[in-house]
């Protein structure tokens, strides 16, 4: 299978993909199906070695993969990348080769100081690995943002775009960014709105109802379960689509009560969170936490897992057969036929 690429910069290149998790597997399979030469670098005995081999790849130790490569894609967890760079990549990467990331964290915050004789580039698909793969298989792609941090070869931009094309991003949309913008906006989104903001909003809503004497089961449905309906509408057509689908009563309540929950003070605290990201406070604290063996992380995580909403949620979800099948319920594709 071949993929229409805007340039053939990588046509004769060997690409080493380090890490075979969510992004690594999707990138590697798409690049291979785009006709590119891909080798996987993994720790021997690591959890994904067999999977990569079963998918038809040559799998070697990271140092060996890096030695022969013209492009090294670093798709391991962010916190292991600095050591991986120092121990494996820096001593082995060819002068003039490209070092590619899917998140700018380590370069932007100086946790990795790349050698001066290599290109340093970024391609970040705006979706999880499973979608990057499934869209590619359908002949489509997931939009990617891309950036060049260091251009030694003189063709770093062409290399970056060829990689984005190879994983299918060029079939959808490529947006240029820089390492600073990608890193800071990604961290802000997950902290203030997606993971941090949304989960705290749900938990506070649940606690408010339960403390007022309402049943936890009813509270769960109202503030956690039904959030999916709203998020799906956002995803498909923004706030416009949500307003088209919810009742006039829900809309009026949104207009008068929403701004009482998220107000100017909330926005000010969002700005404070952004400042901590921009000035490196968050990166410094997170790196120290990781190096200390994650003591606070583990405590916070356990508190989330022990919250009453998790207990009631588990019981209620056990009665949602469409979740047990491992698939999302899909609306009936055609109207039900009448029997008789
Ligand atoms: P993951 O946790 O799903 O997979 C990590 C892989 O790295 C696994 O195969 C693991 O076995 C391997 N690994 C761990 N330590 C290693 C080491 N020392 N040497 C070699 N391999 C090692 O990670 P992911 O979510 O795919 O994230 C990879 C990168 O992609 C990160 O930079 C992340 O920020 C970025 N990213 C992720 C997503 C996403 O949706 N998950 C989206 C955009 C960007
Ligand atoms: Mg939380």
pLDDT for 202 equals 98
For ligand 1, atom 15, name the residue with the nearest CA. 76
Report the DSSP pairing between strands 71-74 and 119-125.
unpaired
pLDDT for 45 equals 87
Q: Which of 44, 60, 66, 75 to mutate to test the pocket of ligand 1 (most atoms within 8 A of CB)?
A: 75
Q: What angle do CA 174, 178, 184 make, to 5 degrees?
A: 110
pLDDT for 326 equals 57
Q: What is the pLDDT along the chain (340 residues), one digit of tens a residue?
A: 444 455 789 999 999 999 999 999 999 999 999 999 999 999 998 889 999 999 999 999 999 999 999 999 999 999 999 999 999 999 999 999 999 999 999 999 999 999 999 999 999 999 999 999 999 999 999 999 999 999 999 999 999 999 999 999 999 999 999 999 999 999 999 999 999 999 999 999 999 999 999 999 999 999 999 999 999 999 999 999 999 999 999 999 999 999 999 999 999 999 999 999 999 999 999 999 999 999 999 999 999 999 999 999 999 999 999 998 755 444 333 333 333 3
- Expressed in angstroms and rounded, the spacing between residue 218 Cα and the centre of ligand 2 is 21
Q: Cβ(16)–Cβ(66) under 8 Å?
A: yes
Please enumerate in sequence order all residues whose Cβ is within 8 A of that of 192, keeping only pairs 6 or more positions apart, or say none. Answer: 270, 273, 274
Q: Which of 18, 19, 47 to mutate to test the pocket of ligand 1 (most atoms within 8 A of CB)?
A: 19
Q: Which of 48, 102, 144 to mutate to test the pocket of ligand 1 (most atoms within 8 A of CB)?
A: 102
| Catalytic residue status for 155 | no
- Expressed in angstroms and rounded, the spacing between residue 83 Cα and the centre of ligand 1 is 14
pLDDT for 329 equals 42
Q: What angle do CA 82, 122, 44 make, to 5 degrees?
A: 45
Verdict on whether the full-model pTM lies above 0.85: yes
- Expressed in angstroms and rounded, the spacing between residue 334 Cα and the centre of ligand 1 is 40
pLDDT for 82 equals 97
Pocket of ligand 1 (CB under 6 A): 18-24, 42-43, 46-48, 62, 75-78, 80, 84, 102-103, 124-125, 128-129
pLDDT for 281 equals 98
- Position of tokens 């995580």? 301
Given 27, 103, 155, 225, which residue is catalytic? 103
Q: What's the rounded Cα separation, in Å, for the pair 29 and 267?
A: 41
């Amino acid at each position: 299978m071949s993929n229409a690429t805007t340039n053939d910069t990588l046509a004769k290149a060997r690409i080493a993909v380090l890490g075979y998790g969510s992004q690594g597997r999707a990138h590697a399979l798409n690049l291979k199906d785009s006709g590119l030469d891909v080798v996987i670098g993994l720790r021997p005995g690591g959890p994904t070695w067999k999977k990569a081999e079963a998918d038809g790849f040559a799998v070697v130790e990271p140092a060996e993969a890096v030695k022969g490569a013209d492009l090294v894609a670093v798709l391991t967890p962010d916190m292991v990348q600095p050591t991986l760079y120092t121990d494996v990549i820096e001593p082995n990467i060819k002068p003039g080769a490209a070092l590619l990331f899917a998140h700018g964290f380590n370069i932007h915050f100086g946790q990795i100081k790349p050698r001066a004789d290599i290109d340093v580039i970024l391609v970040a698909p705006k979706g999880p690995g499973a979608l990057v793969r499934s869209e590619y298989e359908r002949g489509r792609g997931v939009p990617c943002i891309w950036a060049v941090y260091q251009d030694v070869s003189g063709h770093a931009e062409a290399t970056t775009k060829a990689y984005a094309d190879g994983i299918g991003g060029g079939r959808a949309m490529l947006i240029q960014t820089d390492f600073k913008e990608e890193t800071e906006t990604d961290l802000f989104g997950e902290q203030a709105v997606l993971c941090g903001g949304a989960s705290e909003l749900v938990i506070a809503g649940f606690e408010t109802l339960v403390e007022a004497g309402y049943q936890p089961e009813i509270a769960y449905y109202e503030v956690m379960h039904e959030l999916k309906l709203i998020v799906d509408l956002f995803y498909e057509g923004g706030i416009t689509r949500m307003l088209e689908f919810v009742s006039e009563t829900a809309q009026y309540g949104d207009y008068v009560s929403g701004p009482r929950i998220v107000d100017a003070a909330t926005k000010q605290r969002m700005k404070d969170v952004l400042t901590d990201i921009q000035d490196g406070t968050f990166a410094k604290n997170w790196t120290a936490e990781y190096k200390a063996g994650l003591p606070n992380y583990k405590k916070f995580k356990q508190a989330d897992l022990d919250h009453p909403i998790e207990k009631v949620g588990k019981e209620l979800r056990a009665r949602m057969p469409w979740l047990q099948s491992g698939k999302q319920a899909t609306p009936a594709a055609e109207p039900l036929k009448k029997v008789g």
